[in-house]
Structure 1
C-alpha cells in the first residue's frame, strides 16, 4: 500500500526523532543537528533511575511500592511507573529519565495496539523496565509497533475519527492524522527532556 502523501512528512519527522533519541540513549555518537557526530556513551542503570530532586516520580519495584510523592504504581511485571489519581498534583512532581522514557514507550505501544492491534491494552498491561538496556529495547519495540501502525493507515484512515482508540487521551474523538501529529510532539518533547537529563547527570552526578 502506498503511503499517503499527507503522512510522509510526519513519518519522516517520527523516524528522525526516533533515531536521534535512540542514538542519544545508546551511542556511540549522536547527530548534533548540523551533521556533526557527538560522542555519547550508553545510558547506565544508575543514570536511568537517577533522582535529581526530592519527591521524584520514577519507575519502582512493585515490592517497594511508590515513593513519597507517588500515590500508586501502574503496569505489570516487577516494576511499575508512579502516578496519582486525577487531577494530578499541581505543580507536578519532577519525573526521572526512567519515568519519561517508560511513559513514552508505553504511549507508543498502547496507541499501536489501539490502532491496528487487539485494541485492549491499558496501562495496567504495560511492563516497565527496571534497567537501562531493557528500557532502550522497550522503546525500540514500541516505536517499531507505532511505525507499523502508521504504515497500515490509508488516506481514509487518516481522516477517520476514532481510528485509534487509545483509552488515556482524546484519540477516540480525533481524526487519526491529528493523533499522528500529537504522538510526534510527544516523542520530540520527551526526547529533548531525556537528552537534557543525560547532560545533567553527566555534570552533576558523576
Structure 2
C-alpha cells in the first residue's frame, strides 16, 4: 500500500525518535547531533533501576509491592510498574528510566494491537522487564509493532475517529492522524527524559 503523503513526515519523525533512543540506550555509538559518533555504554541494570531522588516510581519485584504513593504494580510477570488509580498523586512522582521505558513499550504494544491486531491486549498482558536488556528489547519490539500498524493506514484511516481502539487514551474521540502525532511526541519527550537521566547517572557523585 502507498503511504499517504501526510503520514510520511510523521513516520520519519517516529523512526528518528526510536533510532535515537535505542542508540542512546544500547550503544556502542550514537550520533552526537552534528554527525560525529560518540561512544555510549549499554544501559546496565543498576542505572535502569536508579532512583535519583526519594520515593521514585519504578518497576519492582511483585513480591516487594508497589513504591511510595503507588497502589499497584502494572503488567505481567515477576515485575510490575508502579501505578495508582485515578486521581493520580500530585505532584507526580519522579520516574526512573525503568518506569519510562516500561510505559513507552506498553503504550506502543497496546496501540499496535488495538490498531492492527486482535484489539484485545490490556495492560495486564504486557510483561514488565526487570532488567535493562529486556527493557531495551521490549521497546525495540513494541516500536516495530506500532510502525507496522502505521503502514496499514490509508488516508481514510488517518481521518477516522476510533481507528485505534486503545482503551487508555483519547483514541476513541480523536482522528487517527492526531493519535499518530501524539505517539510521536510521547517517544520524543520520554526519550529526551531518559537521555537526561543517563547523563545524570554518569555525572553522579561516586
Normalised by the length of structure 2, the TM-score is 0.98
Q: What SS class does the counterpart of residue 111 from structure 2 fall into?
A: helix
Q: Which residue of 2 aligns with 1:199?
A: 199
Q: CA deviation at 1:205?
A: 5.7
Q: Which residue of 2 aligns with 1:46?
A: 46
8 Å CA contact retained: 1:25, 1:136:
yes
Q: Which residue of 2 aligns with 1:177?
A: 177
Structure 1 unaligned residues grouped into runs of 5+? none
For the pair 1:138 / 2:138, whether they are aligned, the reply is yes
Q: Which residue of 2 aligns with 1:127?
A: 127
Q: Which residue of 2 aligns with 1:111?
A: 111
The 1:205–1:156 alpha-carbon spacing in structure 2 relative to 1, beyond 3 Å, is: farther
8 Å CA contact retained: 2:69, 2:89:
no
For the pair 1:7 / 2:27, whether they are aligned, the reply is no
Q: CA deviation at 1:105?
A: 0.6
Q: CA deviation at 1:59?
A: 0.3
For the pair 1:93 / 2:79, whether they are aligned, the reply is no
- Count of residue pairs brought into register by the alignment: 206
8 Å CA contact retained: 2:73, 2:81:
yes
8 Å CA contact retained: 2:24, 2:195:
yes
Q: CA deviation at 1:56?
A: 0.6
Deviations 1:5-27 (A, max 9, x none): 01000000000110000000000
Counterpart-to-counterpart distance in 1, 2:67 and 2:37:
38
Q: What SS class does the counterpart of residue 63 from structure 1 fall into?
A: helix
Q: CA deviation at 1:69?
A: 2.9
Deviations 1:48-77 (A, max 9, x none): 000111001000111111123321111111
Counterpart-to-counterpart distance in 2, 1:75 and 1:205:
33
C-alpha root-mean-square deviation of aligned residues, in Å?
0.9
Deviations 1:96-121 (A, max 9, x none): 00000110111000000000011111
Structure 2 unaligned residues grouped into runs of 5+? none
